[in-house]
Structure 1
Amino acid sequence: MPGIPRATPRVDTAQLMELLATSLGAYYGDFTEAAARENLTASQGKTLSVLRRGPAAMRVLAQTLSCDASNMTGLIDRLEKRGLVRREPSPTDRRVKNVLLTAEGERAVDALRASMHTTTAALDALDDDERATLHDLLTRTFAGAKDKS
């Protein structure tokens, strides 16, 4: 009946966590398959995606990807051998090596993202307002989440 406000249903944290886990599982599966189409492991794909934001020191990459720095070295070695990344000295600290994408690495990330058909279809089903709301909610919920833990 018009004019009578509807009560917002209560969704508890456990329900939200289950939905988030299901959603992230679908995203991760789509991402892993897209990475494989580019002959990348999921870890390599994630590394390239992080580097799409800009150069990063090895230590920062390891922290961002929640992996041991020794694993990061091998991962970067393999990506460098394929011509997807390169190392260069940090302009502010010559002891630090920054890792950055090559043009081929940028192409690989773009191709990976473009072939994430399940995720793209799900997000494209949202209208502009829904997309903006989802963006705002995810930003509010997870921005700085690592800093709070």
Structure 2
Amino acid sequence: MKKTFFIAFILTVFISCKNNNKSEQEVTTIGADGQEKTAKLNDGLTLLKGDFIYFADAAVLQTQTEVYGVVIDKKMHELDKKVQPYKKEDTDMVSVEIRGNIIPKPENEEGWPFRVEIKEILNIYKPNPEDNTVVKLGN
């Protein structure tokens, strides 16, 4: 029942229109510059920018074109800990920039067709206070 509610909630959030103006948002940069970035281009990892949420034993990264399940591991918990200061409620999504491996989900599991295993956390974007898109479900 919890999983069904959570999936319905996430789908509702994903379907709702969202107007993000990230040019005016504060950005927390975590990572390297210069030559290290150039070397990283050949390591086989994929750069992903999107909205991250970890709630009720499920982690999701929604980009502009795709929705990924996130592998729950040490790096995912590190990202969740870093986004907590930006969340007002447990169900808030926070824009992030990460690098990771995209892998297909096992055939016998439910969920999105691909998963991402986070290898590096690059940026966390402070939510825009003018964005008042809120979806709340009541009893």
Q: What's the TM-score once normalised by structure 1's chain length?
A: 0.22
Q: Give the structure with the higher percent strand.
A: 2
Which structure is higher in RCO with an 8 Å CA cutoff and minimum separation 6?
2
Larger radius of gyration: 1
Q: What's the TM-score once normalised by structure 2's chain length?
A: 0.23
